[in-house]
Structure 1
């Protein structure tokens, strides 16, 4: 390693939405981070447009949810049409169990700019543009990256951990020699965006027409997008010529020549997943780890799940709160779900882009026949077909009680709660960027020895919530212990009451990414929480992955961030 190599705890290669979201999370957790990107500016291409409730919860953790929402259209329906233009299904989920709507539309270039502005809040997070990775070498102590700027000058950065967020053609993945298994779909698609939306259609429409399957959707600020399948023999670049674009749009608008096309690009759909998401001290995230066709709008959302899962683990390892060996849990927890999302997108694509007229007719008859079945209609309307993440191994504690273990590894709900009358808050905002022990109408730590509280504090769980049911007027809420551990909050909308009542548990331990790490009854809290801490905490005399000074004082910064989150 060069003696002049810059040292940093985390180096992120790629400043797309996944890489910059991860950097915002690491900044929130107090970890000094460097993000490098070879492109000098945000790419002004028509790319991702859909963000789900899990993505917004991730942005909430970075403190940027409201800013991102300013450039979004929330709660947008999706409709599917037969070859004869009959709507056979509509997706409009009403649930907000994670605190946000499930279908929201945005323009990725605008979203990326907001995320990059968010980095300016953190003195120890830097974004450097115009730098390309040309070499990567890792050993037991860290990773050395060689970067080249636009003038050809090279520099080295030494990092404890490197995260590749450099897209489907990931240079890092190729340098590591990791397989990218799957397939490239034969049909290409041309994507066209216009401003001054000419249609009164405030929804996303999937048109399953064998003559030419296409997608049409409304975007913020009067933008309208069309996506058309290209057929064999149609040259992608030729289809972007103005006369061809007008020809494609001619069947859908009265005067295509009057449209102002601001973006147009040809895309190839891919269904691929890396063999491993973790290789030594290097992790893959976003398209570098997995890439999916856009049929269910989960490509970027899957990458944001990567960022939320990985961000806190890197921070906790660097701060000596988590065993370094548990970095591999990132692969264990994310790989299978990423593959499941790809499989679902492939299924949707095969059904909805059918070009055989006879098969398309049979498909349409089937969907039109079942749309009146209440159970099926609810299954589609509420997006229950979407596989939710569930971790059976990783940074979770399975007690051996089947009913309770079925709760572990799932994302916890996010209802509104109150710390004071008239002060409704989302649960995550009360919890802050940490582990949270949430007890329902009890004090799970009433009999906890000091040693367990010390372990929980080391884990970053030094603040506890005791929840009681909603009171009326000046009436006190449901009974609570005389001196409960931590803050008492009221269940403003009965969301927590219904959850705990149906699960037969008294407490949950929620991770920083809002997944359930452990659950139980009051009587087993000491045993279960102690077992979890023993399994994930480093040895008491272990040294963090990098010295605190080198990591930018991360532990002190985390304490400051937590204090700000809890300030009332």
Structure 2
């Protein structure tokens, strides 16, 4: 018998991107259903790297520290020439977003933690072993037909649907027919993981050896991974045979026959981006929207950026706090940056997997000659080559002043701050899952009309004033403390340096911590009124209460267990 259920958002795909999105939607108070055709977490060698932006996403739902328990933090990446000389090392010292930039994990373990996190939200439901068969949209929502393993079908009526169902997405490919533009690279790769790590090499190594380029890295709990390029004529499945695996490892460990290989799989590298990330009330995210070679470790991280960008927008639309047409901003903000990251990964791959020995020698000679040049060393070491997300259109407001608009659409820093009660926290934890007007040493809305304050409340915006630490009651901004404004002390002098360098008095931060607007104190009422006009629907004043569902202590313990 076909049964019908209703939900606000249906997420198709319970991989790390889909489940991260469900955690975020749960945190924002959105009724969510997550479905996946697989009844359990796939035990394949998959993503291994998480950056600071990914950890900030997990932090937003209270899972960063729990995820870190199964991670190795601050891991360097080294690049080696054909004759095994290190010509570059990447180890960023910056923690501007509150976390290290290079961290390694095992995806199956991470997925289990994220799935446990969903148990905190009674309004989030997970159904596994269920496949999407059909969707139909209309002006009010999306109707989806699901099929369970026993062949029974059910119908779900949702306001919005998110396809996070992988590179062979049923949502994108089978139902929406959205082009997946790009290329499939000719060389396949064998990925091998063993336990009881036989090497003392606590870093990620890219070996640019023309005879067979490979990657070698240490993972948590004594795991070691190798990734070897296959050549034309080498059959991928045959290369997974035990004797072939030992042949691949023979030049890298003393006795490959003694290794306990726990996972081995053949992968094809792809560089593809869907033509559109939004189709009416259906969005796609993660590998369903884009797929990249693993050279710079940004495949999963890009999907997590999707989840953070999209989830709060869906929540604000469902709750009547944002105009539905602004859902298109998800595509506008994410598509170009995704393409830039894939282009960078392609460039890395072309340089590092070079098989022509003469070209490889020229590459090695060039990089060895400049590795001690301070500007180049800093550029590589601090990962300054990584394109940072920045958007000038979407859910942002440009003032027309170039210096201020240069700040808009960029992720804001995350320093440690201290409340007046003496509690030290990361800035995001003080703000919570909402908009925030953060000003420096004064409240630009102290004399604002009540109508503007009401509109900001409808937006779900909190107000914070940053002050210098240990300054006493005479410090400008201290008088702003009250039920409407939270005063935070700048423990590490990062807020002062940020505002001083950029010559603005305030920033409006979105729930995903991107700067939505910035300006001087005198301009704040006018700019914030314009932003509310841009975002708020006419009925925003009757919006339901903002989410941020409290997490029961017992559920926190369950996630950590």
Q: TM-score range by the shorter chain?
A: over 0.9
Q: What is aligned with 2:432?
A: 432
Q: What is aligned with 1:528?
A: 527
Comparing 477-486 and 225-234, the one that deviates more: 477-486
Within a 5 Å distance, the mapping from 1:296-335 to structure 2 comes to 296-335=296-335
Residues 190 and 228, structure 2, Cα contact 8 Å, conserved in 1: yes
Q: Secondary structure at the match of 2:87?
A: strand
With over 3 angstroms needed to count, the CA separation of the structure-2 counterparts of 1:294 and 1:471, relative to structure 1, is same
Q: What is aligned with 2:449?
A: 449
Displacement of 1:477 after TM fit? Answer: 7.2
With over 3 angstroms needed to count, the CA separation of the structure-2 counterparts of 1:135 and 1:168, relative to structure 1, is same
With over 3 angstroms needed to count, the CA separation of the structure-2 counterparts of 1:467 and 1:236, relative to structure 1, is same
Within a 5 Å distance, the mapping from 1:99-178 to structure 2 comes to 99-174=98-173, 175-178=175-178
Do residues 558 (structure 1) and 543 (structure 2) align? no
Q: What is aligned with 1:97?
A: 96
Q: What is aligned with 1:399?
A: 399
Q: What is aligned with 2:556?
A: none
Displacement of 1:5 after TM fit? Answer: 1.9
- Which whole-Å deviations, capped at 9, do the CAs of 1:333-379 have from their partners, x for residues lacking one? 00000000000000000000000000000000000011111001000
Cα distance in 2 for residues equivalent to 1:427 and 1:563 = 22
Q: What is aligned with 1:250?
A: 250
RMSD: 1.6
Displacement of 1:563 after TM fit? Answer: 13
Cα distance in 1 for residues equivalent to 2:275 and 2:365 = 40
Q: What is aligned with 2:67?
A: 68
Cα distance in 2 for residues equivalent to 1:556 and 1:452 = 18
Within a 5 Å distance, the mapping from 1:404-423 to structure 2 comes to 404-420=404-420, 422-423=422-423
Which residues of structure 1 form unaligned runs of 5+? 545-554
Displacement of 1:447 after TM fit? Answer: 2.1
Residues 164 and 283, structure 1, Cα contact 8 Å, conserved in 2: yes
Displacement of 1:483 after TM fit? Answer: 3.8
Residues 27 and 549, structure 2, Cα contact 8 Å, conserved in 1: no
Q: Secondary structure at the match of 1:127?
A: strand
Cα distance in 2 for residues equivalent to 1:5 and 1:138 = 16
Residues 292 and 345, structure 2, Cα contact 8 Å, conserved in 1: yes
With over 3 angstroms needed to count, the CA separation of the structure-2 counterparts of 1:81 and 1:33, relative to structure 1, is same
Q: What is aligned with 1:216?
A: 216
Which residues of structure 2 form unaligned runs of 5+? 554-561
Q: Secondary structure at the match of 1:217?
A: strand
Residues 471 and 477, structure 1, Cα contact 8 Å, conserved in 2: no
Residues 2 and 155, structure 2, Cα contact 8 Å, conserved in 1: no
- Which whole-Å deviations, capped at 9, do the CAs of 1:501-523 have from their partners, x for residues lacking one? 00000000000000000001110
Cα distance in 2 for residues equivalent to 1:244 and 1:559 = 52
Q: What is aligned with 1:15?
A: 14
Displacement of 1:423 after TM fit? Answer: 2.5
Cα distance in 1 for residues equivalent to 2:511 and 2:317 = 13
Comparing 80-89 and 418-427, the one that deviates more: 418-427
Q: What is aligned with 1:492?
A: 491
Cα distance in 2 for residues equivalent to 1:421 and 1:450 = 28
Within a 5 Å distance, the mapping from 1:289-300 to structure 2 comes to 289-300=289-300
Q: What is aligned with 1:260?
A: 260
Cα distance in 1 for residues equivalent to 2:144 and 2:152 = 14
With over 3 angstroms needed to count, the CA separation of the structure-2 counterparts of 1:448 and 1:563, relative to structure 1, is farther
Cα distance in 2 for residues equivalent to 1:402 and 1:563 = 46
Q: What is aligned with 2:388?
A: 388
Displacement of 1:541 after TM fit? Answer: 6.9
Cα distance in 2 for residues equivalent to 1:377 and 1:58 = 29
Cα distance in 2 for residues equivalent to 1:471 and 1:543 = 41
Match of 1:480 among 472, 477, 481: 477
With over 3 angstroms needed to count, the CA separation of the structure-2 counterparts of 1:371 and 1:265, relative to structure 1, is same
